[in-house]
Amino acid sequence: MKELIFDKNSRKVILIAILSVVVIHIAQVVHASVTAEPGSEEEPLVSQSYVDSKFEEMAKKLEEAEKRLEEIEKYGKFEALELNKDQVLIAGASAELILRGGKALAIGGEGGGLSDITSGTGADINTDDEVPLNHLLLVSRDDGRGLRVTSEKAWVLVKGPYTIE
């Protein structure tokens, strides 16, 4: 087999080519480490502060979700109330009311009365109309709609926001 003989110029060219490849490779590694997102495939190692920041973000999202769940639980089921004569229940937007016992008069708002879902007629129960027992009433707006108790006691189921005066 023939022996390869490199002259001085050939050796310089080969050395420059090898050094060029090494320099290009180093530049690519440095560039990738600077531009890579921590935790990505290009940069799998992350700092403790990065991990802590991600945990803080998740904790904030979890806290918000818990607040929403509390609100859903609060307004997602009926609450039984016992009211006395002359007490007024003012319901907020999207509240639902059912008079289970006693007597009460409706209180309408600027946009109308209480929507009587049970009646099937589409008619509102307007201010000073007697509220029928066991009818599902819907309050469409937060404009002061509700009911005033006229008997000694009344029992009302409420779902949604309300205040008692």
Question: What's residue 29's pLDDT?
Answer: 77
Place of tokens 């080519």: 17
- Domain map (residue ranges) of the chain: 8-75, 79-164
pLDDT in tens, 47-90: 788 888 888 999 998 888 888 888 777 777 899 999 999 999 99
Q: Is the pLDDT of residue 129 over 90?
A: yes
Question: What's residue 27's pLDDT?
Answer: 83
Q: Is the pLDDT of residue 102 over 90?
A: yes
Cα(81)–Cα(115) distance, rounded to whole angstroms?
20
Question: What's residue 90's pLDDT?
Answer: 96
Superfamily name with CATH number, domain 79-164: Clp1, DNA binding domain (2.60.120.1030)
Question: What's residue 47's pLDDT?
Answer: 79
Cα(34)–Cα(20) distance, rounded to whole angstroms?
21
Global confidence as pTM: 0.58
Mean pLDDT of 121-141: 92
Query: In Å, how far are 53, 96, 100, 140 from 93, measured between CA atoms?
Result: 38, 9, 21, 5
Share above pLDDT 70 across residues of the chain, in percent, rounded to a whole number: 87
pLDDT higher for 40 or 19? 19
pLDDT band per the 50, 70, 90 thresholds, residue 5:
low
